[in-house]
Amino acid sequence: MNHLEKRLDRQRAYFDSGATRPLPRREAALRRLLQALEQSEGDLLAALERDLGKHPFEGYETEVGLVRQHLRYTLSHLRRWAGPKLAAVSPLHFPAGAFIRPEPRGLVLIIAPWNYPVQLCLIPLIDAIAAGNCAVLKPSEGAPATAQALCRLLRLALPEGWVSCIPGGVETTQALLAERFDYIFFTGGQRVGKIVMRAAAEHLTPVTLELGGKSPCIVAPSADIPLAARRILWGKLLNAGQTCVAPDYLLVHRSVKEALVAELRRQLALLCPDFAHNGDYPRLASARAFDRLAGLLIGRTPLVGGGVCREELKIEPTVVEAEPGDPLLREELFGPLLPLVTFDRLGDAIRLVRAGEKPLALYLFTRSAGTVRRVCEQLSFGGGCVNDTVVQMAGNALPFGGVGASGMGRYHGPHGFLAMSHQKPVVLRGSLDLPVRYPPYGEKLDLL
C-alpha cells in the first residue's frame, strides 16, 4: 500500500469511527476553522499577493471575506439543515409517517483551481464538514504559496483524519482520481472536468463540476451607459479577468456602441491608471497565460486599452472589435480581453449566445423589463445579473453553478450542504395491512 492509499485509509477509518457525525462536533470543527481563518488572515492575504499579485483588499473582498461569511452563515443554519425533516407519505402507505434524514456521503475529494484559491478550496470544504464528511483538499499548484498557507490553516483547525490537505500538480491529482471517493467536488476548466468525470465514472462516484466557459454581457439600447461601463470594467479588473464568471465578451446594440466605448475608455483611465505598475491590478497567472492573451491581440486595433507589459505579466483591460466566427469568440478568454460584437436586434444577440455552449454567467445592461424577460426566457445560463457583473456569486441567498458545458451541481447557501449529503428518506409503517397488495392477485386489477 503506498503513502497516499495509507493516508486515505486512515481518513476512511476516521469517518467510519463516527467522529465527524455528531452535530456538536461538526459545529465545534467549524468554529475552530473560523478561529484559524481569523488567525491566518494575514498569512492568506500575503500568499494571494505573492501568487497572483492580488491587493489585500481584493483578496479579502473576493476570497477571505466570502469564506468567513459562509462559515458564519453555515454555523447559524446548520442545526436546521442537519436535522431529520418530516415528510408527507403517499396514501398507499397508510398508516405511516416518514422523514428525510441527511447523511454524510463519506470521504469527499475537493479539487480547486488557482484563480480564487482560498474561497474555491474552503467554501466546499465548509460544506463537506457541515454535512459530516471527511475530506481531502487538493489546492492548485498554480497558487503554491496559498496552497501552503491553506495547509497550515487546516493543520491548526482540524485533525488530519478529518481533513487532509494534499498540494501538488497534475500527477498528484491523477493519483487521487485513481482512488475511490464518495463524492468529488471539482472546480476548474472544461478539459479537466471531463478527465475528472471519466475517473469518477470508474467508481460511480457522484460529482459537482464547477467549470468555466464564455459568459456574454449584453448591452441593450436602454442601458445606463456610465454604469454599464464602470461595472463591466470592474468585472474585468477583478483578478485581471481571470474569473470564471467575468464577462467574456460584449454584445452591444449599435445605437450605444460609440457611447459605451467612449465611457469604457474614460473610466478605465480612472479605475486603472498605469496598469503595469498598479498594485490594485493583479497580474496574469504565468508567462504562458500572458503570451496566449497577448498573441490574441496581434494585428488588432484596440478600441479601449491595449497596453501589454511582459515584465510585469500584465495586460491592460482591452476591448477589441469582433465579428461572429472570430477566434476571440471561440475559447474562454480567462483574462482582461473583451471582444465587442455589435448587434442590431436583440434576437441577433440571443441567437449568437445560443450558438455557443450554455454559459456559466450572463450579464444584461438594460432599463427595460421586457428585455430582461425576453433574455431570461430565451437563454439558458448558470446564473446572471441585470445591470451588474459578477455579484450574483456573492452572498448566501442564491445557488451557484453551471448548466450544460459550464458545469453540474450547485453550492453556496444551503446548496453546498445538500450536495455534500445524501437525503435519505425513511418510511415508518404501522402494522395495519391491506391484504390487496399480496398475491395471489387473481382479479384484483379490477378493484383499482
- For ligand NAD, the closer CB: 205 or 371: 205
Q: Cell digits for 345?
A: 436586434
Among 11, 20, 40, 115, contact with ligand NAD (rule: CB under 6 A): 115
Of 146, 187, 205, 371, the residue at the interface with ligand NAD (CB under 6 A) is 187
Rounded CA-CA distance 443/435 in Å is 14
Angstrom distances, CA of residue 380 to CA of 39, 178, 362: 42, 34, 9
Instruction: Find the shortest distance in angstroms from Cβ 1 to ligand NAD.
Output: 22
Q: In the complex, what is the shortest distance from the CB of residue 246 to ligand NAD, in angstroms, rounded to a whole number?
A: 9
- The answer to whether residue 212 forms part of the interface with ligand NAD (CB under 6 A) is yes
Choice between 132 and 188, CB closer to ligand NAD: 188
**Whose CB is nearest to ligand NAD?**
212
141 binds ligand NAD (CB under 6 A): yes
Asked whether the beta carbons of 255 and 221 are under 8 A apart, the reply is: yes
By C-beta, is 111 or 261 nearer to ligand NAD? 111
Q: What are phi and psi of 207, to 5 degrees?
A: -135, 150
Question: Among residues 67, 111, 129, 341, which is the contact residue for ligand NAD, using CB under 6 A?
Answer: 111
Closest CA to 153 of 55, 47, 230: 47
Which residues from 378-437 bind ligand NAD, rule CB under 6 A?
402, 407
Among 34, 166, 192, 233, binds ligand NAD (CB under 6 A): 192
Whole-number CA gyration radius for the chain: 25
Among 165, 233, 360, 375, binds ligand NAD (CB under 6 A): 360
244 is catalytic: yes
Give whichever of 119 and 366 is closer to ligand NAD, judged by the CB atom.
119
Q: Does 263 bind ligand NAD (CB under 6 A)?
A: no
Which of the stretches 182-190, 232-240, 271-279, 344-352 binds ligand NAD when contact is defined by CB under 6 A?
182-190
Q: Which of 17, 28, 120 is nearest to 67 (CA)?
A: 120
Q: What is the dihedral of CA 29, 34, 38, 43, to 10 degrees?
A: 70
Q: Give the one residue of 17, 35, 174, 423 binding ligand NAD; rule: CB under 6 A.
A: 174
Q: Hey, which residues are catalytic here?
A: 210, 244
Chain residues binding ligand NAD by CB under 6 A are: 111-116, 120, 138, 140-142, 169-170, 173-174, 187-189, 192, 195, 210-212, 244, 332, 334, 360, 402, 407
